[in-house]
Amino acid sequence: MSQRSVVFVSSAAAMGGVEFSTVYLAQRLSPARWRPLVICPARGSLWEECQHASLPCRILPRPALRSTSFRVHGDLRLPNPCAWTWDMGVLLAAARTLARHLADLRPDLVVTKGLFAHLYGGLAARQLGLRCIWHVQDLISERFWGLYRRMFGVAARWLPDAIIADGSPIARQLPQCVQDRVAVILNGVDTEVFRPGLQGVAVRDAWGIARDELVIGHVARLTPWKGQHHLLEAFAQLAATYQHTRLVFVGAPVFDDNSYERRLRERTRALSLTDRVVFAGYRTDLPQVLAAMDIFAYPSVEKDTSPLALLSALAAGRPTIAFDIEGVREVMDGAGRLVPVTSSTDLAEAINVLVEDADQRNHLAHLARQRAESHFSLNSHTRQMEAVFERVASGVLRCSYPHA
C-alpha cells in the first residue's frame, strides 16, 4: 500500500485537549501508510509541540474571530449580528487562503480539528475536490433555540465525507441523514507514558506539599464549565476536618481570559484556604503531575466527551471522582465514582470516603488503570482512526456531492 498524505487543519494555536489529540495521533500514524502535516493559525504552543515531536507544521494566519453573542444580564445572551458578519468574512477568507495552500499540497486527506476549522477546512477541501474528515471533539452549543446546532448540521450534510465524533453525545447531535458517515471513536492516551508507579515527589516539593499530605488534584483549562468552583466549595467542606489534605488546580485560563481564575483565587482567600490550595498553572509534565496526586477530581458540568485529562488520570491509576455528565459517564463506565452534577456536597462526601479509606482508593486505582488499558490505549485509538482514514481516502465513505 502506497503512502498517503494527510493534512490536519487546527482552529487553535494554543495547546488544549483537541490539539494534544492531534499531536498524539499524528505521531502514531503508520509512517509506511501516512505522511502527516499540521496547519495552525499562529505560532503558538501547538507549533512548538509539533517542533518538539518532529511533526511538519505550517502557519497559516487568519484574522481573529469575534464573539457571536453579547451578555445582556446574568447568563442571558443575545446574538451579535455585527460579529456574525465579521466572522463570515473571516470564514470565507480563511477558506480561500487554505484552498491555495491545499492546491499546492494536494493531500489525499484533510482532517479538520475544531469548530471553525470544520467550516473553512471543509469549504476549502470541497472547492478542490479533496477528501475531508471532520474530527468533532466538542458538543455544539444549543444557544438560541438550537440555531448553532442546526446550522452545523446543514454544513455536516455537504462538507465532510465522514465525521469522527469523540463521544456518543456528539454523534447524537448530528442529523439523521449523516449518521451513516459518522464514527464514534473515543480519544486515547499513551498508557506507557501515563501509568502507575511514576514518581511525583519532585512535583510535590515544588508545590510545597509534604510527602505525608494527601493531594486532591484536578487538571483542565480554568473555565466555568469545567466546574473548578464546585471542587473548591467541596474541598472547603473537608478542609477543617482533614488538615493533612491539599487541593491542586493544574491548568491555565481559556483564551488568556483570567477572570474566572481571579474569582477562584478570591473565593479561596474568602474561605481562608490560601495555604491549602495550589494554583499550579499550565504544566507540560503531566505524567509526573498526576503521580503527585492521591485523588483525581473531575467536576465538569457540561459537554465534556472523552477528555484527555480524565483519560490520562485513569491510565495513571488515579482513583477518580467526577460529576455525572453523559460524556464522562461514557468514559468512566464504573471505573470511578460519579456524583450528581453541580452538587458540591455530594462531591465532598465522595472525596471524604476516599480520604478515609485507603483500600477504596486502591480499588478505584486498579479499576481506573484496567479501564484505560482495555479501552483508551493510544495504539488502539490510532488503528481505529486509520481505518476511517483509509475508507475515506479510498472513496468508500463519500459525501453527497461527487468529487471533482
What is the CATH classification number for the domain harbouring 254? 3.40.50.2000
Residue 121 belongs to some domain of the structure: yes
* Average confidence (pLDDT) over 145-156: 83
Average pLDDT over residues 372-394: 97
pLDDT at 329: 96
**Residue 120 CA to its chain's centroid (Å):** 21
pLDDT: which is higher, 387 or 80 = 387
At residue 145, the pLDDT reads 67
Mean pLDDT of the chain: 92
**Residue 244 structural domain:** 201-375
Residue 213 sits in the same domain as residue 119 = no
In this structure, are 136 and 19 located in the same domain? yes
Q: Do 273 and 365 fall within a single domain?
A: yes
Task: Output the pLDDT for position 139.
Answer: 83
* Domain match, 359 and 243 both: yes
pLDDT at position 71, please? 58
Cα–Cα dist 192/196, whole Å:
9
Tell me the three state secondary structure of residue 162: strand
Four-residue CA torsion sign, 365, 206, 237, 218: negative
Q: Could you tell me if 347 and 388 lie in one domain?
A: no
Q: What percent of the chain stands above pLDDT 90?
A: 82
**Is 399 among the domain residues?**
no
Given pLDDT bands bounded at 50, 70 and 90, which one contains residue 75? low
Q: Is residue 404 one of the residues assigned to a domain?
A: no
Q: Is 208 within the bounds of a domain?
A: yes
Give residue 79's pLDDT: 62
DSSP 228-261: HHHHHHHHHHHHTT-TTEEEEEE--BGGG--HHH
SS3 state of residue 106: coil
Strand ranges in 19-152 using DSSP code E only, listed in sequence order: 34-40, 57-59, 69-73, 76-79, 109-113, 132-136
pLDDT for 303: 81
Cell numbers given for 221:
483549562
Domain assignment present for residue 348? The answer is yes
Q: What is the mean pLDDT of residues 383-391?
A: 97
Which pLDDT value is given to residue 80? 65
Amino acid 85: pLDDT: 78
Q: Among 17-31, 54-68, 215-229, 284-298, whose mean pLDDT is lowest? A: 54-68
Report DSSP state, residue 222.
B
Q: How far apart are CA 125 and CA 131, in angstroms?
A: 7
d(CA 374, CA 340): 27
What is the predicted pLDDT for the residue at 404?
36
CB 177 within 8 A of CB 164: no
d(CA 388, CA 363): 36
The confidence band for 212, taking pLDDT boundaries of 50, 70 and 90, is very high
Whether residue 402 has pLDDT greater than 50: no
pLDDT tier for residue 90 given thresholds of 50, 70 and 90: confident
Is residue 324 over pLDDT 60? yes
- Which stretch of DSSP H or E encloses residue 115? helix 115-128
In this structure, the answer to whether residues 183 and 208 fall within a common structural domain is no
Per residue in 230-268, pLDDT (tens digit) is 999 999 999 999 999 999 999 998 766 789 999 999 999
In DSSP notation, 266-326 reads: HHHHHTT-TTTEEEEE--S-HHHHHHT-SEEEE---S---S-HHHHHHHHTT--EEEE--H
- Residues 152, 299 within the same domain: no
Closest CA to 160 of 392, 386, 391, 384: 392
Arithmetic mean of pLDDT, 369-378: 97
The answer to whether residues 171 and 307 belong to one domain is: no
The C-alpha atoms of residue 339 and residue 223 are separated, in whole angstroms, by 20
Side-chain half-sphere exposure of 76, counting CA atoms within 13 A: 3
131 pLDDT more than 70:
yes
- CA dist 325 to 184, 219, 328, 339, Å? 18, 17, 6, 9
Are 29 and 154 within one domain? yes
Cα–Cα distance, 212 to 244 (Å, whole number) = 8
pLDDT band, very low/low/confident/very high, at 228 (cuts 50, 70, 90): very high
Residue 315 lies in a domain: yes
* Residue 195 counted as domain residue: no
Q: What's the rounded mean pLDDT across residues 216-236?
A: 97
Are the CB atoms for 166 and 137 separated by under 8 Å?
A: yes
List Cα–Cα distances, 270 to 217, 218, 252, 265, 274, in angstroms: 21, 21, 22, 9, 9
Judging by beta carbons within 10 Å of its beta carbon (0-12, 13-18, 19+), is residue 373 exposed, middle or buried?
A: middle
Q: Please check whether residue 249 is in contact with residue 279, taking contact to mean a CB–CB distance below 8 angstroms.
A: yes
Count how many domains the chain has: 2
pLDDT over 60 at 349, yes or no: yes
Same domain, 382 and 264: no
Mean pLDDT of 99-122: 96
Buried b (16+ CB within 10 A) or exposed e, 147-181: ebbeebbeebeebbbbbbbbbbbbbebbeeebeeb
**Between residues 179 and 70, which one has the greater pLDDT?**
179
Q: Do the domain assignments include residue 131?
A: yes
Per residue in 292-318, pLDDT (tens digit) is 999 999 999 988 999 999 999 999 999
SS3 79: strand
Among residues of the chain, what percentage have pLDDT more than 70?
Answer: 92
Specify the pTM: 0.92
Nearest-angstrom CA–CA distance, 237 and 320: 19
Specify whether 359 is located in the same domain as 225: yes
Q: Are residues 33 and 180 in the same domain?
A: yes
- What three-state secondary structure class fits 134? strand
Burial 97-114 (b: 16+ CB within 10 A, else e): ebbebbeeeebbbbbbbb
